A = this chain, B = another copy of it.
Amino acid sequence: MPKIVDHNIRKRQIAEASWRVILEQGMEGATVRNIAKEAGLSLGALRHYFSTQDALLEFAMNLVIERVTERITKIALKELPPKEKVLQILLEIVPTDAEKMAEMEVWFSFVSYARHKKDSFDAQHDGIYTGIRKLMYYLDEEKLLRKNLTIELEIERLYSLVDGTAMHALLDPNRIEKKQIHALFVYHLQSICIEDF
C-alpha cells in the first residue's frame, strides 16, 4: 500500500533502526543491509528514502542531536530554582540510563566516523559547549557564583567535567554509579556557588 507513507516519519524509523544496529554492532555493522533488515525493509525500499548511505548516517546523527537538544530545552523551560535547574541539565547530558547511553554511543560512533570523511557531515558541534557557557552566565546573572572565579576558566572546567564524566559513564558504566555522578556535580556546583546547596 504505497503513497500513504509519511517520508519524515519513515526516515526517523530508519534512523532509529540504524541506531539499534550501531548500538549492537558498532559502526562496522552499520551497513545498508543490516539497517534495512533491522528496519524491516528491503534494500530498494531503504534506498527510496535515502539515496546514499552517508545521507542516512547524517540524518541519523542529526536526529540524535535533535533529540538531546529537545530534552535539555524542556528542562531549561521548567520553573526551577536556578541551581537545581543547572544541575538537572548537567545530569541530562550524562548517559545514566539505557536510552541516553545508546544516544551517546551512537553520537560517539558518528563522531569518530565523520572525522575522516573529507566532505560530508560535521559532527563535533553538538551544542554542548554553547549550552554550558549559557549555564555559567545564567548562574552569574543570578548572582550565585562565588567571587574570585575566572568565569572563562569555569566555563571550560565545567565543560570538561561534564563531557569527561559523560565519556566515563559511557565507556565504563560499571565503575561509576548515577548517585556518584549526582554527588560529583553537586560537589562541583557547591565549589563555585555561594551558600549551601
Of all chain B residues, the one with the shortest Cβ separation from A148 is B191
User: A160 CA to B188 CA in the complex, in Å?
Assistant: 12
Which of A's residues lie within 8 Å of B, judged by CB? 24-29, 108-109, 111-113, 115-116, 124, 129, 150, 153, 156-157, 159-165, 167-168, 171-172, 175-176, 180, 183-184, 187-188, 191
Beyond A26-B113, A27-B28, A160-B168, 18 extra complex contacts between A and B, CB < 8 Å: A24-B116, A26-B116, A108-B112, A112-B112, A115-B171, A124-B171, A157-B184, A157-B187, A157-B188, A159-B164, A159-B168, A160-B160, A160-B162, A160-B164, A161-B161, A161-B164, A162-B164, A163-B164
User: A165 CA to B167 CA in the complex, in Å?
Assistant: 11
Contacts of A27 in B (CB 8 A): 27-28, 112-113
Closest 6 CB pairs of A and B: A164-B164, A26-B116, A160-B164, A163-B164, A160-B165, A153-B187
Contacts of A172 in B (CB 8 A): 124
User: A25 CA to B114 CA in the complex, in Å?
Assistant: 10
